[in-house]
Amino acid sequence: MDLKWDIDSIYPSADSEEFRKDIEKYKALLNELNIWANENMNIYSAEGLEKYIELKNRLMSFNKLEIYLNLALSVDTENEALGKALDALEGIISEEAVHEALFSQFLKGMTSYKETPVLKEHSYFIKEQKRKAEHTLFPAEENAIAKMKINGSKLWEKQWQSLTSNLVTDYQGLTLTDVRNLAYSPYKDVRKAAYNAELEAYKKIKTPVSYCLNGIKGEVLNVSEMRKYNSPLDMTLEDSRMDRDILHTMLFAIEESLPKLREYFAVKSEKLGNSGALPFYDIFAPLGEGREYTVEQAREIVIKGFYSFSEDMGKFAENAFEKNQLDIMPHKGKVGGAYCESIHSLKESRILMNFGGSFDDIVTMAHELGHAFHNTRLFNMSHLNSFYPMPIAETASTFSEGIIINFALKDKSFDKLSLLEADLQGSTQCIVDIYSRFLFEDAVFKNREKGFISADELCQYMESAQKKAYGSGLGSYHKYMWICKPHYYDGDFNYYNFPYAFGALLSKGLYAIYSENGKDFIPLYDRFLSLSSTMDIKDAALALGIDLCDKSFWLKCISVIINEIDEFKKL
Ligand SMILES: [Zn+2]
């Protein structure tokens, strides 16, 4: 196993013969599809529909060009040649808007069609595109919106990035990221001083950042209105293949359970020796023994843990390490965080992470491998049939986290308190904190509609959202949370919060079913993953016998966490 991933097997380099040849092939095919769509997408026939699907699937096999450049850049961010190559490629890719807009018009005009095997195979794709076509404007308008975004939300996002990444705090001259990482420090005085310095520093940028947020959310409101959505939330739900009913049922269940969930914060506060409610700066404080792990130990834990669930998953993880599909260690010039990328045409994935040696990093490794395992269940489908929405993506990855945590909990050599603490910290962030972020974003959209929102008003919305979510669980809040979370600054992803709560809860529910049914659950889980890309979320869950509009199901998922809190109390 190498610590660096193998991407040379995708392309030897961005200026290799192979890469250049594929760019030429891609351009030719794109041109062919655009010309064909221009001439034929006004004749409504099953043959036309089939031809479009065939050409589009072929075109998508060249996605690996863009994926390769993104992967290469993420471990070498300062590489100008790669940056320019990506910029040039994105210019070519934007031409796909031509046939996509024509296809939307075609679907609006097509009332029925004769079902051929190819069309049957792609019936969900057609249904979804037809649904979206109702909200697609004329090609010229679509083009204008795309151009406007480049100079609107995309630039506001860059402005936000620049303001937050260059902000220096008064705490030893540390940057915002570094000072925020001190929230995990074992020393209380460090956590507290870092938190105070962080809050103080935001005052320097709160006004310009409020312009960024007003700009982005204002644009989203305009676009969603032009597209005739009732609200940005409806637009997001459609992209998530999720009914409003499911979201509301889940939120009701969360609201009902908040008093029980808040007990975790009270117990944690007590364990840390505080006299009152947990201060905000103690949310991420570590508990128990902080053991360090090597990459080799992490690999072994993940593989053994996956094998304890199923032969398939164990073999899959073993193979991913053997074929060097993970880029594991941090280094200068590599992006932070972690992600997983599917390369459908090669039937492989790549994982990037920044291993630091904590148990949390092992959990992250399992999370990303969970995404990659999900991808394997879809490799036999056509490219157009291989996409799944965010809430389901986060279910598969969080389920894998659960496998590893439960595997470790059964092994006496691990420290139970630190395991439970890590698990509960993650769950409560995904539920209680995410609930506050949902409330905040909702308030922002509702008030942005009426006019400009000042920085101080944004702080008020955030504090009131946190009070509603955390209630008496916390002794202090973080009213500037809207400045540091990247999720609010992407004009194409709104309400980028509830999918985390959905994934965290559904994966707990699935794990509970697995605990009750044992190995019989494995083929069902497999089926759920394979159906996830060609069904609405509701129907994929029904295939497992789960009704996502039934509040008692969500309460059952939450009860798994509540049981963990009870156990945590006893330790
Ligand atoms: Zn994920």
The burial of 249, by beta-carbon neighbours within 10 Å (0-12 exposed, 13-18 middle, 19 or more buried), is given as buried
The burial of 43, by beta-carbon neighbours within 10 Å (0-12 exposed, 13-18 middle, 19 or more buried), is given as exposed
Report the distance separating Cα 353 and Cα 366, nearest Å: 11
CA of residue 351 to ligand 1 center, whole Å: 11
- Helix axis angle, 498-517 to 551-570, nearest 10°: 80
The pLDDT score that the predictor gives to residue 125 is 97
Residue 279, SS3? coil
Instruction: Enter the tokens of residue 195.
Output: 């938190």
CA of residue 472 to ligand 1 center, whole Å: 30
CA of residue 392 to ligand 1 center, whole Å: 10
The pLDDT score that the predictor gives to residue 362 is 95
Contact assessment for residue 13 and residue 19, using Cβ atoms and an 8 Å cutoff: yes
Contact assessment for residue 303 and residue 317, using Cβ atoms and an 8 Å cutoff: yes
Report the distance separating Cα 478 and Cα 183, nearest Å: 13
DSSP 369-420: HHHHHHHHTTTTS-GGG----HHHHHHHHHHHHHHHHHHHHT-TTS-HHHHH
- Among candidate residues 355, 379, 380, 376, the one with its CA nearest the CA of residue 365: 355
CA of residue 122 to ligand 1 center, whole Å: 26
In this structure, is the dihedral angle defined by the CA atoms of residues 120, 125, 127 and 130, taken in order, positive or negative? negative
Instruction: Enter the tokens of residue 427.
Output: 């769950």
CA of residue 107 to ligand 1 center, whole Å: 33
CA of residue 166 to ligand 1 center, whole Å: 27
- Give Cβ neighbours of residue 300 (< 8 Å, ≥ 6 apart): none
CA of residue 4 to ligand 1 center, whole Å: 20
Phi and psi of 340, rounded to 5°? -130, 140
Amino acid making up residue 25: K
CA of residue 397 to ligand 1 center, whole Å: 6
CA of residue 364 to ligand 1 center, whole Å: 9
CA of residue 393 to ligand 1 center, whole Å: 7
The pLDDT score that the predictor gives to residue 335 is 83
CA of residue 338 to ligand 1 center, whole Å: 8
Report the distance separating Cα 265 and Cα 14, nearest Å: 50
CA of residue 369 to ligand 1 center, whole Å: 9
CA of residue 504 to ligand 1 center, whole Å: 10
Report the distance separating Cα 436 and Cα 444, nearest Å: 12
Rounded to the nearest 10 degrees, how much is the dihedral formed by the CA atoms of 407, 410, 412, 418? 70
Report the distance separating Cα 543 and Cα 525, nearest Å: 10
CA of residue 200 to ligand 1 center, whole Å: 31
Report the distance separating Cα 27 and Cα 95, nearest Å: 10
Hey, what domains does the chain have and what are their CATH numbers? 17-151 (1.20.140), 291-414 (3.40.390)
The pLDDT score that the predictor gives to residue 146 is 83
CA of residue 507 to ligand 1 center, whole Å: 12
Q: Print pLDDT tens along the chain (571 aa).
A: 899 999 999 999 999 999 999 999 999 999 999 999 999 999 999 999 999 999 999 999 999 999 999 999 999 988 999 989 998 998 899 889 889 999 999 999 998 889 999 999 999 999 999 999 999 998 888 888 888 888 899 889 989 988 998 899 999 999 888 899 899 899 999 999 999 999 999 999 999 999 999 999 999 999 999 999 999 999 999 999 999 999 999 999 999 999 999 999 999 999 999 999 999 999 999 998 878 899 999 999 999 999 999 999 999 999 999 999 999 998 888 887 789 999 999 999 999 999 988 888 999 999 999 999 999 999 999 999 999 999 999 999 999 999 999 999 999 999 999 999 999 999 999 999 999 999 999 999 999 999 999 999 999 999 999 999 999 999 999 999 999 998 999 999 999 999 999 999 999 999 999 999 999 999 999 999 999 999 999 999 999 999 999 999 999 999 999 999 999 999 8
In this structure, is the dihedral angle defined by the CA atoms of residues 121, 343, 348 and 536, taken in order, positive or negative? negative
CA of residue 360 to ligand 1 center, whole Å: 14
Q: Give residue-wise pLDDT tens across range 55-76.
A: 999 999 999 999 999 999 999 9
CA of residue 36 to ligand 1 center, whole Å: 38
CA of residue 503 to ligand 1 center, whole Å: 9
CA of residue 113 to ligand 1 center, whole Å: 38
- Among candidate residues 471, 473, 560, the one with its CA nearest the CA of residue 263: 473
pLDDT above 90 coverage of the chain, percent: 87
Report the distance separating Cα 448 and Cα 454, nearest Å: 10
- Give Cβ neighbours of residue 149 (< 8 Å, ≥ 6 apart): 219, 491
CA of residue 396 to ligand 1 center, whole Å: 8
Based on its alpha-carbon atoms, the radius of gyration of the chain, rounded to whole angstroms, reads 24
CA of residue 543 to ligand 1 center, whole Å: 23
CA of residue 74 to ligand 1 center, whole Å: 17
Q: Give residue-wise pLDDT tens across range 528-569.
A: 999 999 999 999 999 999 999 999 999 999 999 999 999 999
Report the distance separating Cα 193 and Cα 100, nearest Å: 52
Report the distance separating Cα 502 and Cα 435, nearest Å: 11
Strand order in the sheet with 339-343: 326-327, 348-352, 339-343
Report the distance separating Cα 236 and Cα 233, nearest Å: 5
CA of residue 314 to ligand 1 center, whole Å: 19
Residue 339, SS3? strand
- Give Cβ neighbours of residue 11 (< 8 Å, ≥ 6 apart): 18, 19, 22, 64, 65, 68
Report the distance separating Cα 348 and Cα 114, nearest Å: 35
CA of residue 339 to ligand 1 center, whole Å: 7
Assign residue 169 a region (left: φ > 0; alpha: ψ between -120 and 50; beta: otherwise).
beta
The burial of 100, by beta-carbon neighbours within 10 Å (0-12 exposed, 13-18 middle, 19 or more buried), is given as middle
CA of residue 401 to ligand 1 center, whole Å: 10
The C-alpha angle 131, 133, 137, rounded to 5 degrees, equals 145
Instruction: Enter the tokens of residue 133.
Output: 């076509």
CA of residue 433 to ligand 1 center, whole Å: 17
The C-alpha angle 421, 426, 429, rounded to 5 degrees, equals 120
Rounded to the nearest 10 degrees, how much is the dihedral formed by the CA atoms of 93, 95, 97, 100? -90
Residue 111, SS3? coil
Output the CA–CA distances (angstroms, integers) from residue 330 to 75, 151, 355, 428, 500, in the order listed: 9, 33, 7, 27, 25
CA of residue 403 to ligand 1 center, whole Å: 15
CA of residue 371 to ligand 1 center, whole Å: 7
CA of residue 247 to ligand 1 center, whole Å: 19
CA of residue 334 to ligand 1 center, whole Å: 19
CA of residue 500 to ligand 1 center, whole Å: 9
CA of residue 499 to ligand 1 center, whole Å: 10
Instruction: Note the helical H segments in 471-550.
Output: 481-484, 498-517, 521-531, 537-542
CA of residue 307 to ligand 1 center, whole Å: 21
CA of residue 498 to ligand 1 center, whole Å: 13
The burial of 153, by beta-carbon neighbours within 10 Å (0-12 exposed, 13-18 middle, 19 or more buried), is given as buried
Contact assessment for residue 39 and residue 59, using Cβ atoms and an 8 Å cutoff: no
The pLDDT score that the predictor gives to residue 289 is 82
